[in-house]
Structure 1
């Protein structure tokens, strides 16, 4: 009989850690995965290098998940970044810190090594891994769940839904779990792509693909109000703005939002005053040479001057007040209309999912259905780039695995 103490639906990091944790407690566990293999999302994490977590204490992590961060307090306290590092070290794959980014990777920088380790752990704990299986229906009958698949029917006392969101659909995360959760009585916050590039109206940097700016100020505006203001790297591509700073801010974009990038990290008034002072000191210096002292790429400067219709050979003393102010505004506080965010195919995570007010944050158990646990990207949690999303997934999985109960058997 296909009867288990726990069945995990979805073989991403949250589901795997829930399975491992419950199996360590003596649960009979099965993990069902619709893909031909578990861990597809793990394999693409960090461009195949698998950025697992980040520097900082759990309290510092909470700010990285926006307004919903407080929901993760219990999960991160019960299974902290340090605990995740210890897990991998104790199992023969210590993590390496990349100092300049604060990111932790396996010391081999291989996602495959991470997946192989996790699979080995589950097999050692006798977790039954069933791949290439499609869920057709899940029902709760009295004290157990009935899971109908395209091959067999399974029964369990505890059920973990960890099917992921809709980002990177090529890895199998196509939103199936939302349908299951909805059928089990849960409301879904509409899923949207997050951690994506941003497209703006009249993008002018098509020929500057690959040029980047480190640690610049990025602001998202809506209705003349700052929605979010963060610092981070910006990358210019053929069609859009990208880079970690843009990806992080994309999580806050709504309809009719605007993007502002401060390329020189100076306030409008400060840069305007410096330009005026330099004009008074050396009015014969050309505008382009003045701008290059701010470590701006020369090709970028040329595009900016062309946009404002300033000849790059123009002397500072010949620069009109109107052109000077337009130039300063372009470099410090120019608002660009955001036309769209990247698609789910480009998104690293999904914003939205199962509503958090229907989940007990101290256990990850559904408030609607007893013994149903909801973890990972399927819930309405999304974080910044840098390992925050995998850490949250692992912590939620462990919390669920520690919280569930099973009937004692004779």
Structure 2
């Protein structure tokens, strides 16, 4: 029978770093992966270029995980972005900063290079990597775990669940870990897609796919209450709003939510007053020409004017008060009913998962089951786009690997 000090279930960043850290401490480690190869989620990160982390200190990172960021304080302080960069540098694959985005990538901009490096690291540490197997059941006896699979039974003193969530199911993250965690006694916060596009009722920008706004105000409303207000890039697509600013805010969307965008970086009163003043100065100017002064894309301006039923060649002096106010409101506080967010197939991460109340943030050990550790996306925590989720998973994995007690070994 296969017996180990630690079995890690899941070959994503959290599981891999837990395995590496424990193996470095001398533990006998096995990593079980249901896919034919480890690292599938890493391979799709950053569109194959592998955005591993982001610029900033741990305290900056804590603001990037919605309301649950404080849970990661210990993990990020013990294994910071600097620590992750140092790991790759020492391993022969330095990370490079893309300054305009604040993102760090491997210098080769290749996810495959990252996966190959991590596999090599584990093999050098004698981690047993077992791929293409199906876990049928995990049982906890008095002092060990029994992992029943289609390839046989494995026993261990400590177990790490690092199975990921439900996003990108094509990579193998189909929610299996939630079943395992629940059977071991954990509460699961219902999983939902996060980091997804947002769909709205009566979307009018179908013909403007590819137009983007680099830094605009985005608000999510529910029951006429402001849920979140953030700034970020917005991308118009054929069917929805996307871009990092939209993706990051998608985690706050519930049934009955509204999306509000300010395209022009001015409040309603300021823009309305400026249009009045411009009319008084030169009422013969065409409204389209005036709006282009605000650095709005011309096709966008035409679409908005058409929506409000304003002729683009209409002179300012001919613009009624009602139309002017409607225009100012649309550009500064366009509030739209959200019909849905993208599916798990589109989502970059999963919102929901194992309740954080049941996991010790100082060790990543379960409060319910001794020697069970949970790391990464299986937990009810999700970060903004830009490397925050991989960094969190790596940090949690390292913390779990460091937290295993030496006396637990055979």
Q: Fold conserved (TM > 0.5)?
A: yes
Instruction: Judge conservation of contact 2:52–2:104 (CA < 8 Å) in 1.
Output: yes
Moved over 2 A (4+): 406-410
Q: Is the 8 A contact 1:5 1:406 kept in 2?
A: no
Q: 1:26 corresponds to which residue?
A: 26
Residues 1:308 and 2:325 are matched in the alignment: no
CA displacement at 1:57 relative to structure 2: 0.6
CA distance in 1, matches of 2:380, 2:330: 36
Taking the aligned partners of 2:267 and 2:330, their CA distance within structure 1 comes to 12
Matched, 1:107 2:107: yes
Q: Residue 373 of structure 2 corresponds to which residue in structure 1?
A: 373
Shift of the 279–113 alpha-carbon distance from structure 1 to 2, 3 Å rule, reads: same
1:326-365 alpha-carbon deviations (Å, 9 max, x no partner): 0000000021000000000000000000000000000000
Deviation at 1:408, TM superposition (A): 6.9
- SS of the residue corresponding to residue 235 of structure 2 reads strand
Shift of 1:306: 0.5
Question: Counterpart of 1:225?
Answer: 225
Are the aligned partners of 2:261 and 2:334 in contact in 1 as well (CA < 8 Å)?
yes
Preserved contact between residue 30 and residue 130 of structure 2 (Cα < 8 Å): yes
For residues 365 and 181 of structure 2, the distance between their equivalents in structure 1, rounded to whole angstroms, comes to 13
Work out the number of aligned pairs and report it.
Answer: 410
2:260 equivalent in structure 1: 260
CA distance in 2, matches of 1:356, 1:406: 25
Distance 1:364 1:208 in 2: 46
Tell me whether 1:388 sits opposite 2:388 in the alignment.
yes
Residue matched to 2:88: 88
1:37–1:75: structure 2 CA closer, same or farther, 3 Å change rule?
same
Query: What displacement does 1:224 show?
Result: 1.1
Aligned to 2:140: 140
Within the alignment, does 1:298 sit opposite 2:311 as a pair? Answer: no
Q: Unaligned stretches of 5+ in structure 1?
A: none
Asked if 2 retains the 8 angstrom alpha-carbon contact of 1:75 and 1:399, the reply is yes
Alpha-carbon distance, 1:90 to partner: 0.5
Q: How large is the Cα RMSD of the aligned pairs?
A: 0.8
The alpha carbon displacement at 1:170 in A equals 0.2
* Partner Cα separation in structure 1 for residue 246 and residue 49 of structure 2: 21
Show the counterpart of 1:214.
Answer: 214
Cα offset, 1:223, TM superposition: 1.0
So what's the TM-score if we normalise by structure 1?
0.99
Q: Secondary structure at the match of 1:165?
A: coil
Tell me which residue corresponds to 1:77: 77
CA distance, structure 1, for counterparts of residue 98 and residue 155 of structure 2: 44
User: Offset at 1:409?
Assistant: 6.5
Q: Which moved more, 1:226-235 or 1:342-351?
A: 226-235
CA contact (8 A) 2:65 2:384 kept: yes
Contact 2:71 2:361 in 1 (8 A): yes
**Contact 2:27-2:409 at 8 Å conserved across structures:** no
Contact 2:216 2:234 in 1 (8 A): yes
Tell me, in whole angstroms, the C-alpha distance in 1 between the residues paired with 2:327 and 2:231. 22
Q: Is 1:59 the counterpart of 2:59 in the alignment?
A: yes
Structure 2: distance between partners of 1:89 and 1:121:
13
> What is the distance in 2 between the residues matched to 1:309 and 1:120?
62
Query: Contact (CA 8 Å) 2:157, 2:409: kept in 1 or not?
Result: no
In structure 2, what is the equivalent of residue 278 of structure 1?
278
Unaligned runs of 5+ in 2: none
Cα separation, partners in 2 of 1:195 and 1:359, compared to 1, 3 Å? same
- Pick closer, same or farther for the CA change 1:39–1:312 going to 2, 3 Å: same
Alpha-carbon distance in structure 1 between the residues aligned to 2:366 and 2:236: 43
Aligned equivalents of 1:405, 1:8: Cα separation in 2: 16
SS across alignment from 1:251: helix
Q: In 2 relative to 1, CA 409–109 (structure 1 residues): closer, same or farther, beyond 3 Å?
A: closer
Write the distance in 1 (CA, Å) between the matches of 2:295 and 2:160: 51
Instruction: Please give the secondary structure, in 1, of the residue aligned with 2:264.
Output: coil
Q: Distance in 2 between matches of 1:188 and 1:38?
A: 25
Shift of 1:406: 3.9
C-alpha distance in 1, partners of 2:42/2:151?
Answer: 26
**Deviation of the 1:253 alpha carbon:** 0.7
- What's the TM-score once normalised by structure 2's chain length? 0.99
Give the aligned partner of residue 186 of structure 1.
186
Compared CA separation, residues 346 and 74, structure 1 to 2 (3 A): same
Q: Are 2:199 and 2:240, in contact at CA under 8 Å, matched by a contact in 1?
A: yes
SS state of the match for residue 129, structure 2? strand
Tell me the equivalent position of 1:338: 338
Cα distance, 1:407 vs. partner? 3.6
SS at match of 2:252: coil
Instruction: Give the C-alpha shift of residue 225 in structure 1.
Output: 1.1
Equivalent residue, structure 1, for 2:199 = 199
Q: Secondary structure at the match of 2:165?
A: coil
